[in-house]
Amino acid sequence: MTEIDPIIRRPMGARRFGRINWLGLWTLAQREISRFMSVWQQTVFAPLMTAGLFVVVFSIALGRGDREIMGLPYIAFLGPGILMMTVIQNSFANTSSSMISSKMQGNIIDTLMPPLSAGEILTGYLIGAVARAALVALVIGIGMMVMIGQLPQHPLVAAVFIGLGALLMGGLGLIGGIMAQKFDQMAALTNFVVTPLSFLSGTFYSIQALPPFFRAISHANPIFYLIDGARYGFTGVSDSSPVLGFAICLFSVLLVCGTCLYLLRSGYRMKP
């Protein structure tokens, strides 16, 4: 008996083992990229302004004199954390806003009707998140280079952690968009989960300054390893092993993407 897709009631067998629908995948990815590029003032320029304000305010408030953290001038310590925090927030916003908007406006059928498998849908959304994250990281990185003369000491490491951050938070954004049934629920997830995790992850301070209990909690936060890995990529200094951070971030990405695939295949809260 032919298995039926629970979302749009079509046979799934041919799509599961068939060739990749490159045209459909590219079209979905192009749609996601065009969606945020059409409002680049909000999606690219605004994060640059926010990151710049964070650097200015915190460097003035806490970075006067010879203040150093982990042997680095405070502004050099702060820059990579601000960059990564902005990247993960934008990655999350890209997929979550796209999914919840499609559901609320009733045009989610435009994504579900084409012959795209769950993996292709997930890949298309994640390409959009990674593209936005890369553009934001590039713009802020150039700003850091111009303003404070900071260049990455390990560019490949920085790029890997930025990519992992985009994939992890893009996947979490997609899960949030699928789970949420209205914009208020999505806003609550952003305000009470994503923002606290990103702020309380060593962005503005070294976790070595925390009491042991809160330091242990920070080590359980995957976003800490993203920010710490980016900081190592830019400065060569980190709170934890970059290899351990890479392993934890990769595992988190695989776990989140696996959850996304399950939700997309089951059609949970996505039926038109």
Residue 83 lies in a domain: yes
Q: pLDDT band for 157, please (50, 70, 90 cuts).
A: very high
Range of the domain at 141: 20-54+67-266
Contact call for residues 116 and 160 (beta carbons, < 8 A): no
Q: What is the pLDDT of residue 64?
A: 55
pLDDT above 80: residue 136: yes
Share of the chain above pLDDT 70, in %: 90
Q: Of 184-188, 230-234, 251-255, which range is least confident?
A: 184-188
**271 inside domain:** no
Report percent pLDDT > 90 for the chain: 43
Q: Is residue 15 situated within a structural domain?
A: no
Mean pLDDT for 244-272 is 91
Residue 3 lies in a domain: no
Given a cut of 80, whether residue 203 has pLDDT beyond it is yes
What's the pLDDT at 62?
Answer: 64
Please give the tally of structural domains in the chain: 1
Q: For residue 4, tell me if it sits in a domain.
A: no
Q: Has residue 250 been placed in a domain?
A: yes
In a domain, 12, yes or no: no
Q: What pLDDT, on a 0 to 100 scale, did the predictor assign at position 9?
A: 43
Residue 10 within a domain: no
Chain segment 164-182, per-residue pLDDT in tens: 999 999 999 999 999 998 8
Q: How confident is the model at residue 1 (pLDDT cuts 50, 70, 90)?
A: very low
Whether the full predicted model's pTM is greater than 0.95, yes or no, is no
Evaluate if residue 270 carries a pLDDT over 90.
no
Spatial distance between the Cα atoms of 22 and 160, rounded to a whole number of angstroms: 25
Q: What is the model's pLDDT at position 63?
A: 52
